[in-house]
Structure formats: structure tokens, C-alpha cells
Amino acid sequence: MAISDNCRQSLIPSFLYSTNTSPFGFDTSSINANHRHHHHVLRRSPSVSPSPLPSPSTNYLGVGDAGITSGRILIPAPKEKIEMHSPAFYAACTMGGILSCGLTHTAVTPLDLVKCNMQIDPVKYKSISFGFGILLKEQGIKGLSKGWVPTLLGYSAQGACKFGFYEFFKKYYSDLAGPEYALKNKTLIFLAGSASAEVIADVALCPMEAVKVRVQTQPGFARGLSDGLPKFLKADGFGGLFKGLVPLWGRQIPYTMMKFASFETIVELLYRHAIPTPKDKCSKSLQLAVSFAGGYIAGVFCAVVSHPADNLVSFLNNARGATVGDAVKKMGLLGLCTRGLPLRIVMIGTLTGAQWGIYDAFKVFVGLPTTGGGAPTPAPAKAGKSM
């Protein structure tokens, strides 16, 4: 039974396959050898002519000739992993961003709940431990998860745009700058790419962030998103969902610029000075450990830079009709910069480290390299054309 070459293409994602080495570094050559040995000893149906033995790079689902042979199915492994900067690459980065931001922010909902209440009512919520005690007494264990649904949806949307568009804009600006300038000014590329991505990401986050803060900081307002969103729309209208967008940009754009640029720089420094082995020779587990460490350090810087705007966002979303001037007058400049900061440093440091760890783990899972440790990759100059 003849099978055309077009029918031999695998429909299974490439990360499920490998040649001799899987994306996680496991050697699969012995597995392929066993398949080849098994291929020798199997008796074939007399109606099917034997075919050449498969190459060492071929992997199987079942055993037999390419295509369908005597009830056995062979699916050749794709010859290439996900191509860098292809649509599949950006789709993978987008999915990684959804997982990294959505899961981590949802996991720290209790900390975020205490932080927001400390920012809104510091007299009642005097400290982290005191704040947890009050919430447990008034709302019980279940109350510590208040607002988790808008948190999950909002930060998943933000993460998709943040990481997906960052990779896009980093490549786009590198191409505009050219190889030489991109290499010499890579930090500017990181800053510009992350800022551009965050402008888009915050538009996706803002509605859910507004509902989340209202649910978490106004007792009796709503149990969660299902009843909180209709109440919010009735009270403030659709435009109220985006009332905090400018302060959100003020918080998130500096945060994200610091998050990406400092992470890329820290990871490069770690590979250059702290790890004697070149990145491409390091194990995947070591690379992911570097991603987490770089992310945690970057997160501390992020928390300090973005904290004043974080206080503003919480104040504006909690108080109907409030302005930035009202927030400054009530909290003072020192309060804007320091109120709730220790908790936010712990939260954002852990959060950012975990985000980079999850994001790069997903990239490794689909066969992509981890982030950082090199310069941006502008498109090479085409032969016969000037830059």
C-alpha cells in the first residue's frame, strides 16, 4: 500500500517528539534503537512489501512502515522545532504569559487582598499579620480568596499581551535598529519593547482590576465577579472600568520596563560571571533556576519603582469620584511611596521570580530556549540589499 510523502507529516505538536535528545535533555537514542531492533523481528503481512529501516531520528506511535501498515501506525518526528519569531513562536510565548501571570497572581490573592486593604485603610489594617487576623475574623478562610476570579481573568489577559507582545516588539525594534545598534543598545531595545507591550496589556487588565479592587476593599459590595461586575457597571458605567487606566499605566509600565530590562541584564550577568559554563551547555534545570533567581531580583526593583502608582490605583478604584490630587492629599507623598511596600516587595519578588520560572519552563516544554543570556536577534541583512 503506497503512502504519499504528504501523508507522512505529523499532526502531533513538535514538542512531543525529538531526534536523539528531547527538549528536556533526555537521551532518546536508546529508545529509537529498540524500535529499530523490534522492526527487524516483527513478521510482516505477505501483502505488504518491506520498507527500508527508519533513520535514528524517527520516532513512533506503534511500529511499522510510514503510514498505516498491517494495522500499525508510524508518525515521523518533525524535523524542526518551533521556528524562532514565527507565528507559532509568538503563540507559544502568549500561552506562556497566560500561565505565568494568571496562575501566579491568583495564587497570591490573599496577600494582594491584605495589601489593598492596608493601602485603603491603614488605621484598621496596621500590619500584615494584623490585616490577616482581621480578615480571618470578619470573613473567615473563604474571605482570603475574595476576588480570585477577576484576578485570574484579568492577569491572564495581561500576561498574554505582556509576554507575547514583548517578544514581538523586541524583535521589531531590533530589526528597525539593525544588528550593530541593537547589540550596542540592547537595554534600550528591552525597555522600548516592554513599554510598548505593557500599554496594550493594561487595556486588557484594567476592567478586571477595577472590579477586583472594589470587591476586595468595600465590605458587602459583592461576593465576586458574577455579582460585582453588574453592580460596578450600574454604579460607574462602562467607562468606570477604565477610570484607573492612566494610573495603571503609571504603575505597570515602569514596573514592566524594570521587570524585563533588569531580568535580561541580571540573567546575562549571571551567565557571564557566576556560572562558568556557557548557557547553551547548561542543563535545562540550571537555566530555569537562573530564570527564577533573575526574576526574583528583578521583582524587588519592580516593587520599589511601581509602588506609588500601585497605591494610587487602589485609592482611585476604591473611592468613587476620587482624583489623584485627593489621593496625594490624603496619603501624602511619603505614604504613596511606602505604605504597604514591605509586603509588596515580598509579594512582587516571589511573583516575578515564579512568573519567569513558569514562562521559561513552558518555553522549554515546547522546545524553545529560555529567555535572556544574549542580545536581541535582529533580522540578518539580505544579500544585495543595503541596510
All three cell numbers of 386: 543595503
For residues 341 and 148, give the distance between their C-alpha atoms in angstroms, rounded to a whole number.
Answer: 22
Please tell me whether residues 174 and 300 are part of one structural domain: no
Please tell me whether residues 173 and 220 are part of one structural domain: yes
Q: Where are the alpha helices (DSSP H) in 241-323?
A: 245-269, 284-318
Residue 112 has pLDDT above 50, yes or no: yes
What is the pTM assigned to this prediction?
0.69
Average of per-residue pLDDT across 323-333:
83
Structure-model confidence comparison of residues 326 and 25, the more confident one: 326
Domain that includes residue 176, residue range = 82-242
Residue 6 has pLDDT above 80, yes or no: no
Please tell me whether residues 211 and 349 are part of one structural domain: no
For residues 349 and 292, give the distance between their C-alpha atoms in angstroms, rounded to a whole number.
Answer: 10
Residue 247 has pLDDT above 50, yes or no: yes
Please tell me whether residues 93 and 238 are part of one structural domain: yes
At 379, the pLDDT band (50, 70, 90 cuts) reads low
At 277, the pLDDT band (50, 70, 90 cuts) reads confident
Q: Where are the alpha helices (DSSP H) in 218-244?
A: 225-240
* Residue 18: per-residue pLDDT: 37
For residues 340 and 122, give the distance between their C-alpha atoms in angstroms, rounded to a whole number.
Answer: 9
Residue 92 has pLDDT above 50, yes or no: yes
| pLDDT digit string, tens, across residues 41-64 | 444 444 444 444 444 433 333 333
Average of per-residue pLDDT across 320-342:
82
Instruction: Check which CATH number belongs to the domain holding 179 and give it.
Output: 1.50.40.10
272 conformational bin, left if phi > 0, alpha if psi -120 to 50, beta if neither? alpha
> Which residues lie across from 21 on neighbouring strands?
27
DSSP string, 41-104: HSPPPTTS---PPPPTT---SSSSSSEEETTEEE-PPPSS-PPTTSHHHHHHHHHHHHHHHHHH
Structure-model confidence comparison of residues 63 and 303, the more confident one: 303
Residue 33 has pLDDT above 70, yes or no: no
**385 within some domain:** no
Residue 80 has pLDDT above 90, yes or no: no
Please tell me whether residues 126 and 227 are part of one structural domain: yes
**61 within some domain:** no
Torsions phi, psi of 167, nearest 5? -65, -35
Average of per-residue pLDDT across 221-232:
90
**193 within some domain:** yes
* Residue 325: per-residue pLDDT: 84
Average of per-residue pLDDT across 267-290:
92
